[in-house]
Structure formats: C-alpha cells, structure tokens
Amino acid sequence: MANTNTKLIIVESPAKARTVERFLGKGYKVEASQGHIRDLPKSQLGVDVADDFAMKYITIRGRGEILAKIRKEAKAASKVYLATDPDREGEAISWHLAEILGIDPKSSCRIEFHEVTSKAVKNAIKGARAVDMDRVDAQQARRALDRLVGYEISPLLWAKVRKGLSAGRVQSVATAMVVRREQEIDAFIPEEFWDVHGLAQLPTQKGKKLTAQISLSALDAKKCELTSEAEAKSAAKRMEKAKLSVTTLKNGEKRKNPAPPFTTSSLQQEASRKLNFTTLRTMQVVQSLYEGVDLKKEGTQGLVTYIRTDSVRVSEESVAAARKLIPERFGADYLPEKPNAYKGRQNAQDAHEAIRPTDVNRTPESVKESLTREQYMLYRLIYNRFISSQMTPALYQTITMELSGDGVTARYYGEHKAFQGFTVIYEEDSDDETGVKDTQLPQLAVGDKVEVSDIESIQHFTQPPARYTEASLVRALEEKGIGRPSTYAPTITTILARGYVAREKKRLFPTELGKTTTALMEQYFSRIVDTDFTAEMESDLDKVADGSMDWKDVLRTFYPPFEKCLRVAEEQMEKIEIKDEESDVVCEQCGAKMVYKRGRFGKFLACPNFPECRNTKPILKYIDAPCPKCGARLLEKTSHKNRRFYGCEKYPECDFVSWEMPVAQKCEKCGSYMVLKRQHGGKASYLCANETCRHRVDAPQEEEE
C-alpha cells in the first residue's frame, strides 16, 4: 500500500541524493537518476530529418534498474519533485523523467536549488514550478545539432582519414583554433630590436639606496627605436657619456580593484594557472564540493554554489555575510563603503549566481581535515576569491621619472604597494605575467643628478603569439561565444583524447591528425569550423531558451546547406593516409622501428607491421635523478586518478615513490635527496625531502623555464 505521506525527490547524483535526504529527513525519499535516463540511440541517427526533425528517444542501456527503482518509488509517493541540476541539461532530464513517470510537466513538479544547503532545498520545495519547456527545447536543439554534425561527418572521416575519428560542432572549432594558432606561429617572421638600460643607485627614505633600472627612451628628442647591434652600441656609448639629471618627476597613486567571483570559465583558468589543474580535473573536484562533503562537525554539506555558470552576480545575503566577516577578520579599512558590484559579459546567462562558498563561516582552514588535498586547494581558491571580491582596492604609490642630458633621455618607473586591500587574501594570476616589481620608491627632485652605470644593450626579437594553454583556450572560446560553461572541459578532453591536439608543458599544439582533419573540415564544412557561425548558433540556442525562437526553426535553417556540403564531401573528398610518427625504439620481435599510437589511455608504442606483429610497449619517461633508495633510474608515472608521481624503474623490488619530483642535487645540510617545488609565476626551488630538515635553495634558471 502506498505511503501517501512520503514525497519523492529525484536529483542527478547519488552524492547529492544522500545530502538532500539528510536535510529533509522523515517524510521524504530522495533518489538519483545518475544523469540522463533517456537519450538518442547510439546505433542510429535518432533525428528524423524527413519528419521535421522528430527526436527518437530510448532508455539508455544500463539504466533500466535505476529507472525501475525510480518508478517504484514514484508510484508509492504522494508527490514527486524533479530536482535535477538548474541548467538546460537538468531541465531536459526533468522533462524526460516527467514523460517516463507520467507526470504532467505543466504541474508544480520542478524544483531547483543553486546550492546544496538545507535552507536552499526547503525554499526550492516551497517554490515548485512547471518544467520550463523553452529551456528543454534549447537542449533538444543543441542535442539534435550535435548529433547531426557528429553522426553525418564522422563516418566520412572514418572512410577517408582514419577509423575512430569524430567531428563535433564545438570540438571541431576548438581544434581549428589550435591549428590556426600554430599556423600563425609558423608564419611569424621575428623582427630584431634592442633595448639599452643601466643601473643607478637612487636615494630612498631613511638614507637607504635603491638599485633601479634606467631605460633609454629617446635620443635627440626622438623616440628610441633600435633595430641593429650597431645602433644599440652607439646609443649605449652616448648614454655612458651623458650627464643625466631629473627633468620631470611625477608621483601618483594607482588603484587595483579585486576580480569578480568565479564563473565556470574563470575558475577553470585560475585553477590551471595557480593549481596546475586540467579543466576536467577542476570540474571533477568542484562537482564534489557542490554535491556535498561529509564535514566532521556538521555532517554532509554542499560547500559551493552551482558550478556551471557564466554569471558574476551573487545574492544580497551572501554579500552581507562577507561584509560582516571582512572587518572582523581584516579590519574596517578593508571593507568598502558600499558592496562591490560586477558586470558580467554581454551574452552571459544570469540564471545562476557566480561560484561562491555557501557559508563564509566555513573557512578553508576550518574544513581542511574533512577535504582531500585537491578539494581543499580548490575550495580555498573559491573562498578567497569571493571574500576578496567584496574588499577594498589595493593602493600603489607610483613614480614616473625622466632623466635627460646631452641629447639623451632615459626613463624610470616604479611602484610601491601602500595598502594591501583585497590582495591580503587573494591576487589573480595571468597567463602572461608582465607586472612591475613592488619596491621602495626613490626620493628625488627635479634637477638632481643621477649617475648611471653598468650600461648594456640587449637584443630582443618580436615573439609569435603563444600556443594555447587549456586556460587560454577556455578564455578564447568564451570570448568568441563558442560553447557554454558546461561544454569547455568535455570539449578540451575530447580533442586531446581523439589525438587532434597534444599537450606539452601545459601548451596545446595540433597533431598531424588535427591539422589534416581541420584542413578537410575547412574545405568541405567551412561553416562548422567558422567561429562566427558557431557563436551565432549559440546565440540562437539562447533565443530558444528565452522563448523568442522556435527550436525547430534553428534546425530548419541549419540543415539544408549542411546537407549540400555533406553530398559534395561524399563525392569529392579523397582518401588521405596519415603516417604514424616513428620512434627510435626497435621492435625486439621483428626488428622494425616502432611507431607512436594513441589509445584510450594515451600514447603507446606499437609495431608498424601489425597485424603480422602485434608487439606494443608503454612509453617510459625517465627523469634526470637517481632513485634515493637504490640508485636506479626514476620514472614519471600517472596514478589511476590521473595524478603524476615518480617511482623506481625496479618496482616492485624497490618500492620508492614520491608525489614530488626528486632532483639529482643532494641537500647540503643533511645529505637527503631534494625535490622540485614550483611557486606562482614559474619561480622554482629545491626542497629537502627530509621532514626534519626541509632546507630550501633556489633552483637553476632552466627549472623556472
């Protein structure tokens, strides 16, 4: 007999289900759908182009048991609430569940909460609403577009290039962006230029001296643009002979404002720069923080708000909490008169808040013992960024000074942080750090003579654009309006897994496969890899979501020209053979030079004489340091959770392992081995591995590079 007093809530993840059920207690049952229950079939297109793009949905294989359990609980419940994630994908999952369970989607069956807290969940139940069919239709349109592009182009690539390849509406554009950046680098012609500068000992407060770099800026009142060694040496000689004195001096003040709270994109970028996380790892870790962590004193709690967002807006309640905490922890000077407000990007969806802590009283230190190392690092990043966003600016005293004499003009600029402001807790990193070093400012007056020594001329060359990192590619995708917060990580993961793009020292570069595939896509499907066209499609999906455009119209506009391209490609595309990259490793079974192949778990070595010879080998990466335990060579390895570590090549005979990279240099104090440690901005040092010593020395310049 049905228990008419029990209400059923369906969420997506089991972790969230456990957290929510604990909040609600008796009278509620919480089940997890574990993502989508229904989808288009894998074995066929599933979009009937002839029948006005009718979608054929089936129960996903392996989900029958989950669905049977949900059906049973729904039948026994007095009310069913659909509490899937608060985005288009979650809205679509709720609609599919409503269809399967026979729930009227127009009834008050849909609830959404943006943080997994007791208050948010209970308020969501009070505000139950109908399923938003506009958001559902936007997801259906995206799914149909992705299926049409993927399932219609991929077989062509299998037949003409290599089996197992795929095309995708967003992944093909992302690959093309990496390929085009490489083409820019290849086409770049560096131009030579020279700088001339020297050092001066300038007086500061309390009689101390500042060693300042003075840069040549003009000769005979003309801007200095030196393009050859001869010009640079001539200019350096003039600077050596010139009697320089201060001709202009300007003291000023500069304010640096805090950055807004995190969006999905900015979190992925900053976690890459500060924590060295991939976009995928960032999303995996932050998902666990959102769904709930078992805190030793409070039970399971969601620590951060919803994690797929491009909004920088935060609730008034959270701002008030931050403003209460700031003067208590840092002092009244760190609290601005009015709350800081931030403006989001023009095409940002404002349905969700920015990513912030659900409770500012849960400081990173107070919950550290309940978190994994990676959870703690990411939570601290999110927490500090949010608190800093409501703090006062940092203030800098600046000085700009011109020194002139004998037709030579030189320049000095310096800045000193006079008030820390928000930087006391957080400072944003950048992909291209070019900041000015904080220093004491010189105390000079117009007319003061300045002696410049150690004058040297330095050759430079203009640099090509940098290769993308995962962080800068996410930023570029966001700026161009390609994809949405939920698509960045899977897009980058896919193009790496398919072998279109490779990663080396955080930089992304296209493989031969990526270049060839992009060239074919540009020739036959130019609109699919056109950034403007893809951004326009995203804009159309936004219009569907806000109810101003019919989702079928998006498909009716897209498909006819796409189908024409498809027919041309089928007739004209020629078969291309991409040769595997040869290694210098000899196959011990048949003597051939082995080639690099890419499989599910990354690159490996294989014999080119397959299928006659099926020999394969893992790629071993040795580091330049001996095993501290037995003296054998050390290997760089990857754990099951994709974390890098270092182990002895003689394992299991020798069981030495280390998360940090050992180096050849021994500790000068205790003789133990040392490990490489990296700080922000690339600064590197060697740290003694002996816990009772921990002696630290600066690492050589090449380690920083």
CA angle 102, 108, 110 (to 5 degrees): 80
Q: What distance in Å separates the CA atoms of residue 583 and residue 644, rounded to the nearest whole number? A: 24
Beta partners for residue 81, in sequence order:
9
Three-class SS string for 105-126? CCCCCECCCCECCHHHHHHHHH
Identity of residue 314:
V
Backbone angles phi, psi at 406, to 5 degrees: 55, 40
Would you call 612 helix, strand, or coil by DSSP?
coil
d(CA 221, CA 240): 17
Q: Which of 28, 81, 290, 306 is catalytic?
A: 306
397 in Cβ contact with 418 (< 8 Å):
yes
CB atoms under 10 Å from CB of 378, counted, come to 28
Q: What is the dihedral of CA 333, 337, 338, 343, to 10 degrees?
A: -60
Rounded Cα–Cα distance for residues 56 and 576 (Å): 34
| Tokens, residue 150 | 């993927």
What are the Cα distances from residue 449, in Å, to 407, 440, 443, 488, 534?
15, 20, 12, 56, 60
For 34-54, give the secondary structure using H, E and C. Answer: CCCCEECCCCCCCEEHHHCCE
Query: Maximum Cα–Cα distance for the chain, whole Å?
Result: 101
Apex 12 CA angle, 374 and 1, nearest 5: 135
Alpha helices, DSSP H, located in 102-189: 118-126, 133-160, 171-187
Catalytic residue flag (residue 306): yes
Catalytic positions are 306
